[in-house]
Structure 1
Amino acid sequence: MNIDVTPLGLGCAPLGNLYQAISDETATETVEAAWADGIRYFDTAPHYGLGLSERRLGAALAGHPRDEYVLSTKVGRILEPNPAGASELDDQAFEVPAAYKRRWDFSRDGVLRSLEDSLERLGLDRIDIAYVHDPDDHFEEAVLGALPALVELRRQGVLKAIGVGMNQTPMLAEFIRKCDVDVIMVAGRYTLLDQPALDELLPLCQERGVSVIAAGVFNGGILATATPGTKYDYSDAPAELITKASRIAEVCEQHGVELPDAAMALPAAHPAVASVVVGAHNAEQIRANVARSRVEVPAALWADLIAEGLLRPDAVVEAAAS
């Protein structure tokens, strides 16, 4: 990827009122706290709060030099006015009025319209990285429509890098084989609880020189606190996963490390991973995540997790070990 991202990035779904509403002021303070702690990679999408995340992020970054940060957004969902829904709430986990509706569109024209709309909401003149967003049920459309359009925009210099962002690994690997992508964003599939990205995806990325952005490293909440939470991939966590996370937390505690510290350190240690992206609802969460990203995790912790069958033996952890 011909673009540098900071090892820690800010995922901006919370700026779109993911799970809970925050004020414009809190959104701005969150971005400013990230900036103050050296974060220069910001990821958003039209999907996040029906455009609210993009609007808030663009406003918060307006006072910062454009060449000093990297911004990514996504294509695949067109936002269309929905006046009838203005008095209702969005039904996809964002606390915003349903004044727009999402329409899947992975065509060339859909990509161009999506990026134009994103630039307007962001108030910017360019986007650095564009991801095809969640094309699980639209593989052929993405291969034949969205990605060729993004390749053309990259060739023209409109975009610096292009990729795909998903919550699964087999299709991401297939996109790498079939398309000329620079980067992939894999959410929730290389974490302390779940490492299927090791099977094929991460080795393929290393072989092809494709950069990896690791998102969803807390698996939707269960790994976000020292005592495991109850949400896994945005749904109620099965009892066996809570039990496993609790045991991982106990091993972490034995080594003076908290569960979220290790959850951030594991993906960051893999040589294919360029950045770990985490979200935050406020400045305090940003500062906590930055502090966690700087915790040195002892090699003995990884060894104990592997010995107890809590972590795959092929997990790459050397870079995180002290």
Structure 2
Amino acid sequence: MTIPALGFGTAAIMGRVSRRAGTAALERALAAGVRHFDTARSYGWGEAERVVGMALRGHRRQNLRIVTKCGILPVRNTPLLGLAKSVARSLLAFAPGLKAQVRRVASSGSFQPVRTYEIESLAGSLKTSLAELGVSYIDDLLLHNYMPDRPGLQEVGAWFRDLQRAGTIRRFGFSVEGDLLRGLEHLAAEGLLADAIVQVPVSQTLLDLPREWRGVRFIAHSPFGFMRRQQETDAPLTSLAALLPALGDACRCEALVCSMFGADHLTANVAAWKSCS
């Protein structure tokens, strides 16, 4: 059994979490020994990667694992968008009860990103990611929220392999947010699963993975929502210290990505992780 690495998820940076708070959290994670960082071109309406890149500079690149994603393009950054995000963070700080209203506005058409498998757009997205992160290569480049029914997957796979041969990415993969088993079956049928890494939320399906998929490499995320649901059913996996070895037993899980912006939350997560290692 291999205990998954503890990863830092950056989806909230430049959204509900400000640049300053995000940078401070990243620095705490680095000081605590976290070396796996998960981001995406679309996070923070296109601004999270730059914050991540600035925080990671000065650290030995070969000791870091940087995962980013393409396939979802953020809306164009404008002064109005920046103002809207700042106002939303202030509202949530002083009136947490407004979270539902803020989420409703953020999910409106004016703030929604664009999904694409078009290679020219993906290449532009990756070029921007490399520049924002300040790196010459990406450890794992994932197709963001991959959907089996969307055309163009073979072209994306060929492009991924070209990038891998060129050394621009070390590995490629797919972020699967829907039906996990259906996604794995489709990727296998397309000949794309053997060399890929698959990122998924923690679920009972992942923990009960059929033997035929045990060789697939996974990155898991969103453990705390899963553990809250476990508490409602009196199931045993209600702590990170229990979940990490369970993932190591159930599948080939390389990392568990958590959102850890509070100092106490980070400390507790790192302690649980180190207790299993």
Common topology (TM > 0.5): yes
- Give the 5 Å matches for 1:207-218: 210-218=216-224
The Cα shift of 1:165 comes to: 0.9
Q: 2:66 aligns with which of 52, 68, 71?
A: 71
Query: For residues 110 and 138 of structure 1, do their structure 2 counterparts lie closer, same or farther at Cα, with a shift above 3 Å needed?
Result: farther
Where 1:153 maps in the other structure, the secondary structure is: helix
Aligned to 2:93: none
Structure 1 distance, partners of 2:246, 2:224, is 11
The Cα shift of 1:129 comes to: 0.9
Task: Write out per-residue CA displacement over residues 67-121 of structure 1, whole angstroms, 9 at most, x where no aligned residue.
Answer: 221101001112342649525459768979x997511111211221110121222
Task: With the length of structure 2 as denominator, give the TM-score of the two structures.
Answer: 0.78
Q: 2:157 aligns with which of 147, 157, 173?
A: 147
Greater helix content: 2
Aligned to 1:310: none
Q: 2:7 aligns with which of 4, 9, 12?
A: 9
Query: For residues 204 and 62 of structure 1, do their structure 2 counterparts lie closer, same or farther at Cα, with a shift above 3 Å needed?
Result: same
Task: Write out per-residue CA displacement over residues 25-57 of structure 1, whole angstroms, 9 at most, x where no aligned residue.
Answer: 322222222222222111101222112221211
Q: 1:188 aligns with which of 183, 190, 202?
A: 202
- Give the 5 Å matches for 1:151-300: 151-168=161-178, 169=180, 170-180=182-192, 181-189=195-203, 194-195=204-205, 198-200=208-210, 203-206=212-215, 210-219=216-225, 223=227, 228=228, 243-244=232-233, 247-248=234-235, 259-295=239-275
Give structure 1 stretches of 5+ with no counterpart: 233-240, 253-257, 297-319
Task: Write out per-residue CA displacement over residues 276-311 of structure 1, whole angstroms, 9 at most, x where no aligned residue.
Answer: 121212333222111122345xxxxxxxxxxxxxxx
Do the aligned residues in 2 keep the contact of 1:7 with 1:268 (CA within 8 Å)?
Answer: no
Which structure has more relative contact order (CA 8 Å, sep 6+)? It is: 2
Query: For residues 23 and 104 of structure 1, do their structure 2 counterparts lie closer, same or farther at Cα, with a shift above 3 Å needed?
Result: closer
Query: For residues 152 and 99 of structure 1, do their structure 2 counterparts lie closer, same or farther at Cα, with a shift above 3 Å needed?
Result: same
Structure 2 distance, partners of 1:23, 1:261, is 29
Structure 2 distance, partners of 1:145, 1:129, is 18
1:109 and 2:142 correspond: no
The Cα shift of 1:164 comes to: 0.3
Do the aligned residues in 2 keep the contact of 1:29 with 1:283 (CA within 8 Å)?
Answer: no
Do the aligned residues in 2 keep the contact of 1:78 with 1:103 (CA within 8 Å)?
Answer: yes
Task: Write out per-residue CA displacement over residues 149-173 of structure 1, whole angstroms, 9 at most, x where no aligned residue.
Answer: 1111111211110000112312133
- Give the 5 Å matches for 1:3-42: 7-17=5-15, 21-42=16-37
Number of aligned residue pairs: give it: 254
